[in-house]
């Protein structure tokens, strides 16, 4: 028996050693200074600390830090400090070692990064998952000190996503949702495009497994056709660039399953109508004697001599790079068989930055004096963190505003070019230039024409900000801006202003209560809150200070009244707001109050959705029906709210309330009906409307509640509000309506 145990142990040790050897090999293949000794020391320390611990998959725990370290060096390109931090990232959280121990053995820098990673761990893969929004705030605070903390955390999340299959469904939904909501946007903003794409794709795989498999099959079935088309399309380009004397690589870039699904969903089109699945990437080594930017345009000229470009689909991120450091020239050209194909032209340096993001950006930053987009962004984070939102969810929302924002370029009156988020307004631009300009902004001139604060800017606009010393920010300004920087500045100002107004309001209430010989205590404030239907005492003071409440009610409110015992107990009970109990009045027992424990939902089990609708409600924000991919959210009353996987509200809940997310499964028997909308497009022809109605009402006996139809230049467009039992009914209807020769598309309108 002991021999068998020793054999297992030696096999595990062999597996661990092989993975460590692979890590060292990855490191030796980089250009970093070779510090194998400290990496080996960190590995031996972590291996001993985690000895005997297993992951949920059954493998030794040390395999996870090793995998994270390999991602850090091989896929991101960081050096020995980051590798050691990755190897040690779970030691302080999961063992008895402290940050001081790490500092004594490995120095202050590694200890600082490990400390940062420990603070934001939150036990995502254990039962200690804390409020993830608060976790996010800690993560951003730590990132502002050393950006390597967040890069290693993203690598940690990538490995966890790659091994998510061993987790129960509820945890998969929570972790996938959090990844989609927080980590993918962060990876994007740090320029880690390949990792961002993989995180999105893996999240989608676990949230919509059946759709993922279906699209993966369609991609596989079309692979041979794509290969033939790629060879035909790339051959003349390859020959032309060789003739020009360039050293280069051509790469086919295939759209991910997630990107395909997102395009299908947003445009309501089938897989067959997603024409940009294939793109071509050109990565060239610049010649000596001319700038990379000029050579990109030379290759562009050669390409467009072979294939005609689409005039509105040229993206020049060579002249003005994206804020996350991305540089490339994108052009869409008409290829063989009338297919549009996107071609991305990059130098070797540009490609390295595009693949490895912030790490590669700093690698190439030699002697630059001008602040890069990434440097500016990190500076902006520190600005936002000076006055963070008190509510962690609001903070996360504010921060996320500029994570995924596309950029436009606008000019100052003097001709200086400024980068700002797509959708930014004149007021956003004022705050971008200076906070004081924002606070006193009364309007702007765009291209010499007067516009309001809420005017949305376009690329190429020249913007002059108009100010007045008397102007002050107003609460509605939050609706006039879209950038995180402007929102945080406005909220910061309003918060200070409101604090002063609330202080005066509190003094006024105190004065009135003292005149009635009453104290400003919790009991009296609760009575005032109930009377004015206000939840928060601060809001009560603020509204009092703004003179929007009728304070003449207060003396009447505190006049002595005779109350029966039942009313008093109800009031007291209502104030307790106890989530785990419900109140029942037993009328047979002379109205005696009873506390009946609410039936708790088992978070570990899959919740079954039956026809009797017991214990759950369908969310009104996304209207799920049987057949949709769904999840459950357990509210304070232990009712399971059912959301579609792709619902934006569910995305927030997964990221902020992960412990309440549970898996859910339909078990319906076509007893209930749900209202859905299908959109039908086709060629307008006499009788087409009647034919569609015939399919809907006769073939499937489906009831119609509302119809909107119209024609425009021979095109028919109809929206039919129908009652169905499940998604299968919709698919059958779509299939049969498409059999009508004039109909070109039928799609479900997601509400």
Return the active site residues.
93-94
* Joined tokens for residue 308: 């005609």
- Dihedral pair phi/psi, residue 687, rounded to 5°: 90, -5
Contacts for 745 with CB less than 8 Å, ≥ 6 apart: 268, 269, 270, 679, 680, 681, 682, 738
Q: How many CA atoms lie within 13 A of 112 on its CB side?
A: 11
Rounded alpha-carbon distances, angstroms, from residue 217 to 25, 225, 730: 36, 14, 22
Rounded alpha-carbon distances, angstroms, from residue 631 to 40, 323, 554, 628, 641: 44, 36, 46, 10, 8
Residue 40: how many other CB atoms lie within 10 Å: 15
Contacts for 317 with CB less than 8 Å, ≥ 6 apart: 326, 327, 328, 329, 330
Closest CA to 23 of 70, 68, 64: 70
Contacts for 493 with CB less than 8 Å, ≥ 6 apart: 439, 473
* Joined tokens for residue 251: 């790469």
Euclidean distance between CA atoms 683 and 718, whole angstroms:
11
* 8 Å CB contact between 306 and 367: no
Provide the b/e sequence for 425-463 (b: ≥16 CB within 10 Å).
Answer: bbbbbbbbeebebbbbbebbebeeeebebebebeeebeb
- Dihedral pair phi/psi, residue 309, rounded to 5°: -85, 155
Euclidean distance between CA atoms 741 and 738, whole angstroms:
7
* Joined tokens for residue 681: 């497009």
* 8 Å CB contact between 546 and 499: no
Provide the b/e sequence for 158-191 (b: ≥16 CB within 10 Å).
Answer: bbbbebbeebebbbbbbbbbbbbbbbbbbbbbbb
Euclidean distance between CA atoms 334 and 313, whole angstroms:
11
* Joined tokens for residue 687: 């009788």
Closest CA to 365 of 378, 352, 355: 352
Residue located via tokens 């009353």: 637
Q: How many CA atoms lie within 13 A of 351 on its CB side?
A: 16
Specify the 3-state DSSP secondary structure of 419: strand
Euclidean distance between CA atoms 120 and 118, whole angstroms:
5
Residue 8: how many other CB atoms lie within 10 Å: 10
Rounded alpha-carbon distances, angstroms, from residue 483 to 149, 424, 428, 477, 497: 25, 7, 6, 12, 21
Residue 263: how many other CB atoms lie within 10 Å: 17
Helix residue ranges, H only, 244-342: 257-267, 292-306
Specify the 3-state DSSP secondary structure of 646: coil
Beta strands in 363-453 (DSSP E): 407-411, 417-421, 441-446, 449-451
Residue 693: how many other CB atoms lie within 10 Å: 14
Euclidean distance between CA atoms 205 and 163, whole angstroms:
12
Contacts for 325 with CB less than 8 Å, ≥ 6 apart: 191, 353, 357, 358, 361, 372, 373, 374
Euclidean distance between CA atoms 649 and 644, whole angstroms:
9
């Amino acid at each position: 028996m002991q021999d068998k145990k020793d054999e297992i142990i030696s096999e595990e040790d062999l597996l661990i050693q092989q993975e460590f050897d692979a890590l060292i090999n990855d490191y030796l293949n980089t250009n970093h200074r070779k510090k194998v000794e400290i990496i080996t020391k960190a590995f031996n320390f972590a291996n001993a600390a985690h000895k005997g611990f297993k992951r949920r998959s059954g493998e030794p725990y040390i395999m996870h830090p090793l995998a994270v370290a390999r991602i850090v060096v091989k896929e991101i390109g960081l050096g020995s400090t980051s590798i050691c931090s990755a190897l040690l990232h779970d030691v302080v959280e999961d063992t008895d070692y402290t940050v001081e121990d790490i500092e004594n053995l490995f120095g202050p820098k590694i200890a600082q990064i490990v400390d940062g990673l420990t603070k934001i761990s939150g036990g995502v893969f254990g039962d200690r998952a804390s409020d993830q929004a608060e976790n996010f705030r800690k993560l951003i605070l730590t990132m502002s000190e050393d950006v390597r903390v967040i890069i290693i955390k993203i690598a940690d999340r990538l490995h966890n996503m790659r091994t998510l299959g061993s987790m129960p469904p509820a945890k998969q939904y929570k972790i996938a949702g959090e990844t989609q909501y927080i980590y993918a946007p962060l990876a994007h903003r740090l320029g880690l495009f390949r990792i961002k794409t993989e995180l999105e794709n893996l999240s989608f795989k676990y949230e919509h497994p059946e759709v993922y498999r279906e699209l993966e099959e369609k991609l596989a079935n079309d692979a041979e056709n794509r290969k033939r088309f790629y060879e035909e399309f790339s051959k003349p380009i390859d020959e032309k660039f060789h003739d020009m004397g360039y050293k280069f690589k051509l790469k086919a870039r295939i759209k991910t399953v997630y990107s395909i699904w997102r395009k299908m969903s947003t445009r309501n089109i089938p897989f067959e109508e997603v024409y940009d699945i294939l793109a071509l990437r050109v990565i060239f080594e610049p010649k000596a004697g001319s700038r990379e930017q000029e050579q990109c345009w030379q290759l562009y000229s050669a390409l467009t001599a072979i294939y005609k470009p689409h005039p509105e689909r040229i993206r020049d991120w060579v002249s003005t790079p994206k804020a996350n450091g991305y540089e490339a020239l994108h052009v869409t050209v008409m290829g063989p068989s009338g297919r549009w194909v996107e071609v991305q032209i990059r130098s070797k340096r540009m490609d390295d930055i595009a693949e490895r993001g912030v790490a590669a950006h700093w690698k190439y930053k030699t002697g630059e004096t001008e602040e890069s987009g990434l440097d500016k962004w990190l500076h902006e984070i520190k600005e936002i963190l000076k006055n963070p939102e008190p509510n962690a969810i609001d903070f996360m929302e504010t921060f996320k505003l500029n994570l995924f924002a596309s950029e436009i370029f606008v000019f100052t009156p003097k001709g200086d070019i400024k980068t700002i988020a797509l959708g930014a307004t004149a007021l956003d631009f004022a705050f971008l230039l200076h906070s004081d300009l924002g606070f006193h902004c009364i309007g702007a001139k765009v291209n010499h024409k007067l516009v309001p604060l809420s005017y949305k800017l376009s690329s190429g606009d020249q913007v002059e900000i108009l100010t007045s010393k008397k102007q002050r920010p107003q609460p509605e300004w939050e609706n006039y801006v879209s950038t995180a920087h402007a929102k945080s500045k406005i909220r910061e100002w309003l918060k200070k202003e409101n604090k002063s107004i609330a202080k005066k309001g509190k003094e006024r209430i105190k004065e009135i209560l003292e005149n009635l010989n009453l104290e400003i205590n919790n009991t009296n404030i609760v009575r005032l809150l109930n009377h004015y239907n206000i939840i928060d005492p601060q809001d009560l003071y603020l509204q009092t200070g703004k003179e929007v409440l009728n304070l003449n009610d207060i003396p009447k409110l505190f006049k002595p009244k005779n109350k029966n015992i039942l009313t008093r107990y109800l009031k007291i009970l209502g104030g307790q707001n106890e989530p785990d109990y419900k109140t029942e009045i037993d009328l047979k027992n002379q109205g005696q109050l009873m506390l009946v424990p609410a039936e708790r939902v088992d978070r570990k089990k899959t919740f079954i959705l039956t026809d009797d609708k017991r214990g759950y409600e369908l969310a009104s924000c996304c209207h799920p029906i049987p057949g949709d991919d769904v999840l459950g959210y357990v509210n304070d009353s232990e009712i399971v709210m059912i959301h579609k996987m792709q619902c934006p509200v569910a995305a927030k809940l997964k990221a902020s309330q992960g412990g309440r997310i549970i898996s859910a499964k339909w078990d319906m028997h076509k007893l209930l009906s749900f209202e859905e909308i299908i959109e039908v497009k086709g060629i307008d022809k006499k009788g087409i409307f009647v034919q569609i109605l015939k399919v809907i009402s006769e073939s499937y006996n489906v009831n119609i509640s509302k119809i909107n139809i119209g024609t425009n230049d021979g095109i028919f467009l109809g929206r039919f509000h129908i009652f169905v039992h499940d998604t299968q009914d919709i698919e059958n209807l779509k299939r049969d309506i498409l059999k009508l020769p004039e109909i070109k598309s039928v799609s479900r309108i997601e509400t």
